[in-house]
Amino acid sequence: MPLRKLSGLTEPALAGKILALSEGVLGEIVAVVTCAAATTVLSGAEAISPRVIEISGFMPPSGRRPVAI
């Protein structure tokens, strides 16, 4: 399902935020954008924005702790 407006993911501010959160890992970049897209749809926003990325709750790889089994 496409969003109503273009998100401008290649704009320096938004691309930088995505790159920083993903820590440069390709799979994490996909995860950040997927999480932001879901948050955009659920919130009724028309495009992915820095604010949507902030409220999406994405946790960067370095912020995740391994779980002891």
What pTM did the predictor assign? 0.86
pLDDT over 90 at 69, yes or no: no
Q: What is the DSSP string of 26-67?
A: HHHHHHHHHHHHHHHHHHT-SS--HHHHHHTT---GGGPPPP
> What pLDDT sits at residue 1?
66
> What pLDDT sits at residue 6?
92
CA distance 19 to 46: 22
Q: How far apart are the first and last CA of the chain?
A: 38
Residue ranges of domains in the chain: 12-59
Q: What is the pLDDT of residues 11-68, one digit of tens each?
A: 999 999 999 999 999 999 999 999 999 999 999 999 999 999 999 999 999 998 877 7
